Amino acid sequence: MRVFIVAGEPSGDKLGAALMAGLTALAPNVSFHGIGGEQMQAQGMESLFPISELSLMGIVEILPKYLHIRRRLFQTVTEAVDFAPDVLITIDLPAFNIRLAKEIRKRVPGLRTVHYVAPTVWAWRPGRAEKMAPSIDQVLALLPFEPPYMEKAGMRCDFVGHPVVAETQATAEDATRFRETFAIAPDVPLVLALPGSRGGEIKRLAPVFGETLEVVLAECPEARVVVPTVSAKADAMQAALRDWPGQPILLDPRGRSPEAAAAEKRAAFAAADVALAASGTVSLELAAANTPMVIAYDANWLTREIVSRMMLVETFTLVNLVSETRAVPEFIGEACRPDRIAPALLELIRSPEGQEDAMRLTMERLGRGTEAPGLRAARAVLDGLHRSG
């Protein structure tokens, strides 16, 4: 079996690698070609070009690179057609990948097409499902409530589980060692601060988080703050922390192996009593670690105005959505203010047990305790190929 597979971001590279491993286990004669990062390449695929060329977000970033991305798009189309795959699998990055599937299907009308990660049509712009349906046969969904939206538009959709349920979690011993390493006593409140991993998020949210923690530390002066970050944004985060109170501990992954940095981050999640985090997948990572959280997020004014008029849901937090609760306090847009966030964080420090049921239910609904998502995704792809003939 020949698979042409395309991922354009680190998160997609991780999903792609697990799917490739699953396909290799179930269809041993499979061969791969396409675009991926280090993890996908470790599964036996040589990438056409670095995925960093596609990891762009926002109009300001994309416009200067438009012609280059367009050339890469049609280079990829040519490579896919020449490879003559049995199936095309695109992973997330819809602005590039749905166009890619459309152009390839023009040249190979009968080719089976699969898109991994359903677009958030349940949250905003529901018309995206209908627009992708002519180019996509099957969608692999990460969230259990997504299939009906895709099926309504005429695509097969399989819920395959979220990768967070398959991730290794730190032990109690790991958490204890983390506190010992940074001289944080067991009874000292430890606050995990996660103001995002993109430059724009750090610029907008770090000042708000810092002012929030100033209020929290005035009430709870013994508390310590830990801030994980990624290598590419370590300098920006370090600069942002200069205005924060309490000498926060920055977990800088630079100069360390990826495995060591990931283990330290997992230990921090396990050691923390509470977290203040930006909205996004991080809420699921915190739920997997059973870390109570407060979510806060804001965008630039124009984006905030547009999204606020198009939103179809009452909560942004994935734990709330999946568990069908409002257990996690969130402060979005105009509500993302220190005077509103700080009381909620202080209340959580005093009474952290209120989110346990919602976090457990979220992990169950995302597939914890069942077959690994990569293997489930592989089974769904093979079943789709079999049924389509």
CB 19 within 8 A of CB 378: yes
- Candidates 79, 129, 65, 131; CA nearest to 102 is 131
With cut-offs at 50, 70 and 90, classify the pLDDT of residue 121. confident
Which residue do the tokens 């898109």 mark? 115
The pLDDT value recorded for residue 123 is 66
**To the nearest whole percent, how much of the chain has pLDDT over 70?**
93
The pLDDT value recorded for residue 279 is 84
- Please report, for residues 61, 183, 215, 341, the alpha-carbon distance to residue 337 in angstroms, rounded to integers and kept in the order given: 28, 31, 12, 6
- Span 261-314, pLDDT tens digits: 999 999 999 999 999 999 888 999 999 999 999 999 986 655 555 555 556 567
Query: In whole numbers, what is the pLDDT of the chain averaged over residues?
Result: 91
CB 12 within 8 A of CB 374: no
- Span 133-184, pLDDT tens digits: 999 999 999 999 999 999 999 999 999 999 999 999 999 999 999 999 999 9
pTM of the complete model? 0.86
Domains of the chain, start order: 2-161+370-388 (3.40.50.2000), 172-365 (3.40.50.2000)
Whether 14 has a pLDDT exceeding 50, the answer reads yes
